[in-house]
A and B are shown apart, each in its own frame.
Chain A
């Protein structure tokens, strides 16, 4: 059975590495190094190449979980990582100054990939900052002519991340 490949992306600190570590059935491969710029105030380490984990569904289907670096300067890794991918999980950190613009930026950068596959959106840290709301995200997507399942999640919570994955699988099955 061929392995499905899903890609996690989103701004630095949104919880991509954490989400993969939360559900991966083995300790994920990570390429985290010390942050040496302003990000160090937010988090000590940052992903500079990729994260990789795996989860096996009840039917034996294996899903490879690939995390991208968040920073634009690692865009070359985004282009490598989406190759062969079947779906995109965009995590957005609600604490950042402009989460809606963050989301738009990633949707634009991964537009070709999303057009051919599908995407779901997970909003993290909405318990810390509750605006914009999920409705605001949906409204933004509607304006863009896009519909993607959007949920508030805690990247440390296995059920939350699995729910996101299930939503993406459902979208793919229905398409």
Chain B
């Protein structure tokens, strides 16, 4: 039997409409023509640290990973016009750091990049997905990476908890041509380290941990 929404509405006591309901259900994706709830997707990068900009020019572009291109591609696809109402609260960032703190943090990120030859990105972001500072050797969608890694870290911590384990120290993405490591700095901040395979995992984890500890002291 196939009921129309009119009949369903009558059954449930709602105002009638004319759309029929099919019986076949199939899993699908969310809307392929998304409507932005809030804002134009951030495409303008914040001011880039000078050392990163210089390093960016020196970076071997031909060595760009698939991850980078995919993320950039996704970023382009989601650029849509602003539409009210706002579901975001980014205009009222509660976490504020002084310029001095941010400068020190960027210096620490640069140190990390120097220590890990293969590293081409280090980002500080809030655990709810707002970027705070970063150092890059390649052009990366920092806003998107910050948000996605906040989800990933939270999932990692939840999985650890459900597995009766404690204190998720790292979430590691091991890819064919590189690694992405996420770890907490403190209750509200996290660090994401992105590296090619030129740096071994042990070095990446060690340098990442040390950097996070240093950042925790700077960004109190």
Contact = CB atoms under 8 A, between A and B. Distances in A.
B27 A85 contact: yes
Given A72-B39, A112-B28, A31 B155 contact: yes
Contacts of A75: 30, 34, 78
Given A77-B151, A101-B85, A46 B128 contact: yes
Interface string A81-116: 011111000000000111001100110111111001
Interface string B78-91: 10000111011111
A108 B90 CA distance: 22
Nearest to A102: B85
Contact of B154 (A31, A40, A105, A117): A31
A9 B74 CA distance: 22
Contact of B21 (A12, A38, A98, A174): A174
Contact of B16 (A84, A118, A147, A149): A147
Contact of B8 (A69, A97, A147): A147
B148 A76 contact: yes
B4 to A, nearest CB: 10
B25 A167 contact: no
Contacts of B121: none
B17 A145 contact: yes
Interface in B1-23: 2-3, 5, 7-9, 11-12, 14-19, 21-23
B188 A34 contact: yes
Interface string A132-166: 00000011011001110110000000000000000
A116 B25 contact: yes
Contacts of B152: 49
B21 A175 contact: yes
A38 B89 contact: yes
Contacts, number: 190
Contacts of B138: none
A170 B85 contact: no
B32 interface: yes
Interface in B87-103: 87-95
B127 interface: yes
A11 interface: yes
Interface string B48-91: 00000000000000000000000000100010000111011111
Contact of A49 (B19, B25, B151, B188): B151
Contact of A33 (B7, B127, B147, B162): B127
A49 B154 contact: yes
A18 interface: no
A169 interface: no
B130 A31 contact: no
Contacts of B33: 111-112
A71 B162 contact: no
A74 B3 CA distance: 35
6 cross-chain pairs, A with B, having the tightest CB-CB distances, nearest first: A38-B92, A38-B89, A31-B154, A175-B21, A108-B35, A49-B151
Interface of A: 11-12, 29-41, 46, 48-50, 69-79, 82-86, 96-98, 101-102, 105-106, 108-113, 116-118, 138-139, 141-142, 145-147, 149-150, 167, 170-172, 174-175
Given A30-B158, A31-B157, A113-B28, 20 more contacts: A29-B162, A33-B127, A33-B150, A33-B188, A34-B127, A36-B95, A37-B92, A37-B93, A48-B150, A49-B155, A71-B88, A74-B147, A83-B27, A96-B85, A109-B35, A138-B14, A145-B17, A145-B18, A149-B14, A174-B3
